[in-house]
Structure 1
């Protein structure tokens, strides 16, 4: 990664100091990369020289760059974007979205509870009445991720899946069968989650899915089981402390996540690296191909746990709630399953199980005010929709 270039005043740019500065930058780059080959070092020096020659007084920070002329700001952004072409290739499937390639966004960035439709309230029915087809099958089928550390991941030591969302699925199975192990996990990419759900391949998807009005048009959500906040994860050695420091730099998000709209809105002058998964964002950060990851704090806590040289910084940008996704009735879904899941959520909120799960998986990294309160629609609304 090209080291940040400090601002230089126009009155102090003597040729001698300019040459000394360029030699110093080249030396720092050599140390940062652990000693690269001559061709790579030559490329780094060329890029550094280009950035200095184009705008010696510009800064990589958006706050400073915006004070300069439009030409200087564009030059600084171009120099930062060129750094993406240096070093190893991006993770497979990753795409870079440049600032000039997107229009000003008006995308929905968060899902306030008052905007989202309420879920179905639990009733007094027994599991045999709510979900007879699942009872007959003998197991619950749940779609999860296998790479979200502390949330839902495959443990390489034992080969099984673990995490907060895995525990939640087992609690749902416990209430249906009396046995938390009567659940089958199927791994899926984010983009294919809804297709698998609506095709009947799984009963439910528990995969860090934020409840939004747009998604409620295609799936039925449970009440929220976890509240999260958008934040940044960066290297310990960086000077980035908030989104205000992202101008002209790069930020990584998982494509298709709600973090993409947040990144476009919070960092309009930044290049966005869009990856297939959050673990790919960590790879890009470790390879110096991005300087920050913008995601939900529970996701970032798992990433930080895997790399001791990273940290979560900045204030919370927005709050979102995760819900269990199930098929809509018109897509073959069973409203009884929604009520069954919400019955489990009511139980774990009141008997202490939710806190046990949260402290086990997120306690060392995050604080919590407790389980999110349920948000149910009225029975009148339910009958009107049926």
Structure 2
């Protein structure tokens, strides 16, 4: 009886394990596993999802109607910006997570990138020393506000010239031209905007690309994050399928994640310029004097070669853009 019970138990055990192999060996059938899911991974802090079909509030604004910046005069830095010269340092609003443009090197602990080098060149022309800069991190939504509140002297943070921004801040002549494109992970099957319906497109909240994303991807969910680094993380965690951004920004993402690619179509042009306090003619002209030097002595080319060589960002410094003489005199 006990022997029969043992045999019966073994048979039941085999049945429970799906099958028994010849010779008494037990074969366990592998359970059917669901595909990898990242549904348990939270969205980046502060991220917001917009349902498909939200109409753009405005059209994508470009800088074609901008009258231009202020041509520098022959004054000295002490005459143009006496308060900054007396303080002995210039306060610059930057990002700290845009690889190649403005990021913190985790090994060395310092800030590096094309825009960081630009800030140091502005300092060089004011003080004769490129290191007399106080860097302050400002979010994408706080760029204009940080100038208006007097928290920074200038902003160098992929701040493109748009009609809305021109109403609240002044700009230097542009320092970089970039084009809006899509970045996608190679495994998502997205070859153009025709493949976007039903996907999620990521943009940074507070950028002028939110409206453009709604325009070119009306059938997509729009994920708005605080930073571009959060957008890249969102694609890696399957919260987003594409990123709409300037190719100068996307270049840093591709360098960090080789499993991504930038699609060729351009959706608009962006020109980055240094933001200054509205009405601060002295600071605007001081920055523009640096822009002219960078253009003339080859420093801009060296900066591009160091940080952006091989990217899709324009390899030429933008043309100097100055307003008419009469308008410039009124501004001063």
TM-score with structure 1 length normalisation?
A: 0.75
1:213 aligned onto 2:163: yes
1:110–1:319 contact (8 Å) kept in structure 2: no
Q: Does 1:314 align with 2:314?
A: no
Q: Once the 2 structures are TM-superposed, how far is the Cα of residue 163 of structure 1 from its aligned partner? A: 0.4
Deviation at 1:367, TM superposition (A): 5.4
State the 1:241 CA deviation.
Answer: 1.8
Number of residue equivalences: 302
Do 2:113 and 2:307's aligned partners in 1 also have CA atoms closer than 8 Å? yes
- Secondary structure at 2:302 match in 1: helix
Aligned partners of 2:197 and 2:220 also within 8 Å? yes
Aligned runs of 1:193-208 on 2, under 5 Å? 193-208=143-158
Residues 2-151 of structure 1 aligned to structure 2 (within 5 Å): 30=35, 33=36, 86-100=39-53, 102=54, 104-105=55-56, 107-113=58-64, 115-151=65-101
Q: Aligned partners of 2:51 and 2:112: how far apart in 1?
A: 37
**Match among 345, 348, 353 for residue 299 of structure 2:** 353
Summarize the alignment of residues 190-269 of structure 1 with structure 2, pairs less than 5 Å apart. Answer: 190-269=140-219
Deviates more, 1:185-194 or 1:256-265: 185-194
C-alpha separation in 1, matches of 2:268 and 2:58 = 14
Q: Provide the alpha-carbon RMSD of the alignment.
A: 1.8
Structure 2 residues not aligned, in runs of 5+: 1-31
Q: Distance in 1 between matches of 2:194 and 2:296?
A: 40
Contact between 2:247 and 2:311, CA under 8 Å: does it hold in 1?
no
CA contact (8 A) 2:144 2:165 kept: no
| Relative contact order, higher structure (CA 8 A, sep 6+) | 2
TM-score for both structures, normalised by structure 2: 0.87
Which stretch of the first structure deviates more once superposed, 177-186 or 85-94?
85-94
Q: Distance in 2 between matches of 1:206 and 1:369?
A: 19
Quote the offset at 1:327 in angstroms: 0.8
Counterpart CA distance in 2 for 1:368 and 1:342 is 20
Residue by residue over 1:291-312, the C-alpha shift from the partner in whole angstroms, topping out at 9 and shown as x without a partner, is: 0000000111111111121111
SS of 2:191's partner is coil
Contact kept, 8 Å, 1:145 with 1:188, in 2: the verdict is yes
**Unmatched segments (≥5 aa) in structure 1:** 1-26, 37-84
Write out per-residue CA displacement over residues 89-109 of structure 1, whole angstroms, 9 at most, x where no aligned residue.
Answer: 211111110124x2x335131
From the superposition, tell whether residues 146 and 230 of structure 1 become closer, same or farther in structure 2 (CA, over 3 Å).
Answer: same
